[in-house]
Amino acid sequence: MKAPIIDFHIHPVVYDQFYVETALNWIKEMHADKNWDRFYRDLSDPDYFYSYLQNHGIDYGVVMAEISPMVTGICTNEYVQRFCRDKEGLIPFASINPSLTVNTGRELERLVKEGFRGVKLYPTYQHCYPNDRKLYPLYRQAEEMQVPVMVHTGTSIFKGSKLKYGDPLYLDEVAVDFPELTIILVHSGRGFWYERAFVLARLHENVYMEIAGLPPRKLLDYFPEMERVADKVLFGTDWPGIKNPGANIKTIQNLPLSESSIQKILGGNAARLLGLPVKKPKQRNN
């Protein structure tokens, strides 16, 4: 039986606050061939969006909140929680900004108890090194509750982002200090640090590479030995920063990798991390 296909990196199209000159305009340009008002209305509906994913071959999607008011904007945890509620195929991940939260560990505990399956940190947008000690209560709590922590690594096109915070090497210290913590290197060190992301995934048992935002056809240029870390790679699209998720899936399926590795990358690894059944969720007809 084939593993489900899981998109580990989805942003809602609705934000409480968007920086118009950066994130919102970028999305509009990406989907300039569509009627924006209709696109925005349709993809704001969770049922429609769930069917949209399935029509592109995606069985489950990780939907992420974002609290990055200095750079991209705010998509609240509460909105993501409502968006994913009662949707088997939509998996909510929280956002915690260490500059705005006094006790990051207690906040994560609260969010997980409310149904979130993990958390994403945005160091380049939140201007905080990922090994900052104010994040250690969050890491300790995530390790104890066995929930994954996604961390943006690598470059960003958005005005106000500071790339120095995106070096994956800072997460080596976190992986050593919290050996049972699942750490996901979002974008796999995109731009400057592909090799560092690869080495960290090889070195640490619970460090994973996530490949959203990377052109699938270039993956083996960036990671020539990807087959060696096939157990540690997670597929993601960075939607709505992509026009056609299904095309990315097909490109990965046609890479010169073993069928086993392709299935792990597209969903098998994610299903294991999230404790999802191999059985695919039922197709919804809208």
The ranges assigned to domains in the chain are 6-274
Query: Model pTM?
Result: 0.94
* Tally of CA atoms within 13 A in the half-sphere of 86 that contains its CB: 3
The model's pLDDT over 34-45, given as tens digits with 9 standing for 90+, comes to: 888 898 899 899
Per-residue pLDDT tens digits for 123-153: 999 999 999 999 999 999 999 999 999 999 9
Angle, nearest 10°, between helix axes 170-177 and 194-203?
A: 10
Strand order in the sheet with 66-68: 17-18, 73-75, 66-68
Statement: residue 20 has pLDDT above 80: no
User: What is the mean pLDDT of the segment spanning 271-280?
Assistant: 84
Ordered DSSP codes for 234-282:
E----BTS-S-HHHHHHHHHTSSS-HHHHHIIIIIHHHHHHT--SSPPP
Q: How far apart are CA 214 and CA 238, in angstroms?
A: 9
- What is the spatial order of strands in the sheet that 90-95 belongs to? 6-10, 60-64, 90-95, 119-121, 149-152, 183-186, 207-210, 233-234
- Please check whether residue 56 is in contact with residue 246, taking contact to mean a CB–CB distance below 8 angstroms: yes
CATH of 6-274, one of 3.90.600.10, 3.90.1150.10, 3.40.50.2300, 3.20.20.140: 3.20.20.140
User: What percentage of the chain exceeds 70 in pLDDT?
Assistant: 94
Q: Which uninterrupted H or E stretch holds 184? A: strand 183-186
